[in-house]
Amino acid sequence: MNFTAEAIAEFLKGEVVGDPKIEVNNIAKIEEATPGTLAFLANPKYNHYLYETNASIVLINKDFKLDKEVNSTLVKVENAYESFASLLELYQQSRFVETEVGISDKAVIEKSAELGENLFLGHFSIIGNNCKIGDNVKIHANVTIGDNVTIGNDVTIRSGVNIYYDSVVGNNCYIHSGAVIGAEGFGFAPQENGEYKKIPQVGNVVLEDHVEIGANACIDRATMGSTILKAGVKIDNLVQIAHNVEVGSNTVIAAQTGVSGSTKIGKSCMFGGQVGLIGHLKIADGTIFAAQAGVSRNVKKSGEVYQGTPAIDLRNFQKSSIYFKKLPELVKQIEALQKEVNSLTE
């Protein structure tokens, strides 16, 4: 599908500088773009590519000042990064609109399930007993929806997802391939003979509106009550959320992070990759954990940044890392001083 510069500018409420009739049919990085593609410039370190790129159209910020002429047609917008994200969403929708329709004759739907309008259901997917599926839901191939699951409107579930019984998925959620929602939490009671007895996990998982779950992420059901991801939470690939965890609204969690049971995370937090949290913690709103932070205590003050294992205040960590790098040198100095003290003593 082709889009002209003036059509893009109208959609983004931007301004065209150059040929308003020039067309694009694909998107590309500014440094790799070819004629017929659209690119964007938001990071200053890529500014020089604007004068070299072969992109037909480039999105730039309105306050960007040109050093010289460019060959591309420019569309000036308030925020090039956000505008490009909006175009990507439109582009993705246009790609799949023709294929994501109808219900496969190879799918299984239990008679007691309630289905909304405009359902797309792919090959070999299963909808269990007493499920309630909202309008405009897209369920791709090989998805299993367990009994008594409720799914809201405008939800997309990619292939291979498994949503266990009693789970609740809100409106406008997106669940990527291989994710498991509602598996039993890791609960075992030690016995006198050294064995472990399984503790039944009888709660569920609740995903509120606008939640996104990455590929192969696991959100465990609660022992009792609910494991809850509140509105706007974004979970990356390969993330583990344990039983009875609560994640506050608009919190983002990067890949390979693990959150242990019953931890309560505030709203608008940011977790880097491979962060680990022990159980039963309380994390204040707006907390940021840098990649590979190991969190073993509560965070009571909002808006703090932590790094390292055990996680400490970022500035403290940065100062400590300077000394850590100098440890071999400091050890040599201490050993030399010790020798000198010993000789003076003798």
> Concatenated DSSP letters for 37-102?
EEEE--SGGGGGGGGT---SEEEEETT---SS--SSEEEEES-HHHHHHHHHHHHHHHHHTTTS-S
- DSSP code of residue 299: B
Instruction: Give residue 101's pLDDT.
Output: 76
Q: What percent of the chain is predicted at pLDDT more than 90?
A: 84
pLDDT-derived band at 173 (thresholds 50, 70, 90) equals: very high
Instruction: Give residue 97's pLDDT.
Output: 54
Instruction: Give residue 328's pLDDT.
Output: 87
Residue 226 to residue 262: CA distance in whole angstroms: 10
Residue 105 to residue 121: CA distance in whole angstroms: 9
Instruction: Give residue 329's pLDDT.
Output: 87
Instruction: Give residue 123's pLDDT.
Output: 96
Evaluate whether 314 touches 290 at the Cβ level (below 8 Å): yes
Instruction: Give residue 96's pLDDT.
Output: 57
pLDDT-derived band at 34 (thresholds 50, 70, 90) equals: very high
Looking at residue 38, its amino acid is L
Pick the catalytic residue from 123, 176, 243, 280.
Answer: 243
The phi, psi pair for 138, rounded to 5°, reads -115, 115
Residue 152 to residue 169: CA distance in whole angstroms: 6
Instruction: Give residue 229's pLDDT.
Output: 98
Looking at residue 207, its amino acid is L
Active site residue 210: no
Contacts of residue 34, Cβ cutoff 8 Å, sequence gap at least 6: 28, 54, 55
Across 94-136, the runs of DSSP E, i.e. the strands, are 108-109, 114-115, 120-121, 126-127, 132-133
Instruction: Give residue 345's pLDDT.
Output: 84
SS3 assignment, position 344: helix
pLDDT per position as a tens digit, 201-234: 999 999 999 999 999 999 999 999 999 999 999 9
Instruction: Give residue 309's pLDDT.
Output: 92
Evaluate whether 138 touches 123 at the Cβ level (below 8 Å): no
Instruction: Give residue 317's pLDDT.
Output: 87
pLDDT per position as a tens digit, 46-100: 999 999 999 999 999 999 999 899 999 999 999 999 999 998 887 776 665 546 6
Residue 261 to residue 234: CA distance in whole angstroms: 19
Instruction: Give residue 315's pLDDT.
Output: 86
**pLDDT of 239 higher than 70:** yes
Give mean pLDDT, residues 126-143.
98
Instruction: Give residue 250's pLDDT.
Output: 98
**pLDDT of 325 higher than 90:** no
pLDDT per position as a tens digit, 245-298: 999 999 999 999 999 999 999 999 999 999 999 999 999 999 999 999 999 999
> Domains in the chain, please, with CATH?
3-96 (3.40.1390.10), 161-310 (2.160.10.10)
Residue 181 to residue 150: CA distance in whole angstroms: 12
**pLDDT of 327 higher than 90:** no
pTM for the predicted model, two decimal places: 0.83
